[in-house]
Amino acid sequence: MDEFFRLVAELVEASKMHERYRGEECINLIASEGLKSPAVKEMLMLSMDLESRYAEGENDLKGHVKKRYYQGQKYITVIENCVTDLIKMLFKCNWADVRLVSGTHANLATFKGLSLAAKNNKMVVTPLSCGAHISHDYTGLAGMVLGLVNIDHAYNVEEMNIDPEKSAGIIRATKPGIITFGGSLFLFPHPVKELRDVADEVGAYIVYDAAHVLGLIAGGVFQDPLREGADFVTSSTHKTFPGPQGGLILGNLKDERTEKAIKKIQHAIFPLSTSNTHLGRLPALGIAALEMKVFGAELARQTVKNAKTAGQYFYEKGLKVLGESKGFTESHQIAVDVREYGGGGVIAERLEEANIILNRNILPYDDQSNRENPSGIRIGFQDVTRRGFGEEDIKHLCDLMLQIIKGEREPSEVRKDVIELRKEFPEVKYGFKSVEEALKYIGA
């Protein structure tokens, strides 16, 4: 076969194999991934024309479409406005933007807009090794693309959280334009309300990156950053919030200060950083918002319960689970130090051999350059919870993981049990089976 054609055949085959492997045969514990319902997937399939379209333009201060530079927009404008309003209603805020194609893009536009509004390029962030996302960091988007200067929050490793008193001192001394909260290794609610007054003292905007915990916030657990004093929330739409891959920004227009910020962020979205806003995801985002309104509280509660159960169980079985003094976690994830069993890289690979998929993770006390085999693994429970795992199922899964971590069984042997366990949970719960079922539910 011609090499070009052979590559096409290979990619089609690999795509089919991937769907079966990760979709049917693996147990997915990557904390940054989400599991879509059949209704959300169907809505994506029903939106294929949108997937081909453009809708460049500007939005007003409610987040609605104000101006378009392309023709053929009469339904696209309705779709974008509806989704924006659904998101505003779900998160109880009066401004939102859904044009962001990812969480990183949401951070880009927000950090750029706010550094312009504050006329200040200093940003207080959680250190990367303590859970910040690379887009917050001087080695990533914030520093290398936007030219922001990072100042680290003070971090308490024992509590796995920002130290509010020490951070207040740092903020007063350095007077940043932006203070960020939220992160990728994110076990406990961050001290937003504790640092709101200090932010006001120095005139800083507060940004809360909810990429990991947006579904928990929608479900009313973890914390409510906008009510606690965050000016803006940035997020992905595909982690604990189980929508299509994309991003969003939430905020409240309250006064001149927030109006200036919103206008700068909107400018940073268009024209500074978008042309195509990937419209095909928007209807599915609306269906995911409906699912979170209907099932979000129950899903979020069970997700956190499952994460806590695993933390406690691993701890009782002798593993070093971080955040012990605070009950291991209040979110969908836990972090475990597996240095004595070979390190995070080694253990993640052994678990992968058994079709248990998670990621190695740098822990706060690790050497930052040791990305190959850091001390930790991070385990997320949003996917298995949506599949219907309760606490006893979680303990059974933990037992399989322990057999591998402690070297008691070969991963290839455990794999059979993992595939059997996965087969017991064929459905996606806490969601709709079809768009029609969703419409019937709302009485449409």
Ligand X SMILES: Cc1ncc(COP(=O)(O)O)c(C=O)c1O
Query: Which residues here bind ligand X, judged by CB under 6 A?
Result: 32, 102-104, 107, 133, 135, 182-184, 209, 211-212, 236, 247
Taking the complex as a whole, the smallest distance from the CB of residue 247 to ligand X amounts, in Å, to: 6
Number of DSSP helices (H) and strands (E) in the chain, helices first: 15, 17
Which residue of this chain has its Cβ atom nearest to ligand X in the complex?
103
Taking the complex as a whole, the smallest distance from the CB of residue 184 to ligand X amounts, in Å, to: 3
- Which amino acid is present at 434? S
**Nearer to ligand X among residue 135 and residue 252 (C-beta):** 135
Taking the complex as a whole, the smallest distance from the CB of residue 182 to ligand X amounts, in Å, to: 6
**The two structure tokens encoding residue 332:** 């969908």
**Nearer to ligand X among residue 209 and residue 330 (C-beta):** 209
Taking the complex as a whole, the smallest distance from the CB of residue 55 to ligand X amounts, in Å, to: 20
**Nearer to ligand X among residue 93 and residue 214 (C-beta):** 214
**Nearer to ligand X among residue 109 and residue 198 (C-beta):** 109
| 282 Cα distance to chain centroid | 17
Taking the complex as a whole, the smallest distance from the CB of residue 81 to ligand X amounts, in Å, to: 23
**Nearer to ligand X among residue 234 and residue 306 (C-beta):** 234
**Nearer to ligand X among residue 99 and residue 350 (C-beta):** 99
Nearest to 176 by CA among 153, 156, 193: 153
Distance CA 406, CA 69 (A): 60
How far, CA to CA in Å, does 350 sit from each of 23, 56, 345, 370?
Answer: 20, 47, 9, 19
Q: Backbone phi, then psi, for 286, in 5-degree steps?
A: -65, -40
Nearest to 43 by CA among 16, 82, 72: 82
Task: List Cβ neighbours of 104 (8 Å cut-off, separation of 6 or more).
Answer: 133, 135, 141, 247
Taking the complex as a whole, the smallest distance from the CB of residue 371 to ligand X amounts, in Å, to: 15
**The two structure tokens encoding residue 278:** 């990937």
Q: HSE on the CB side for 9, CA within 13 Å?
A: 6
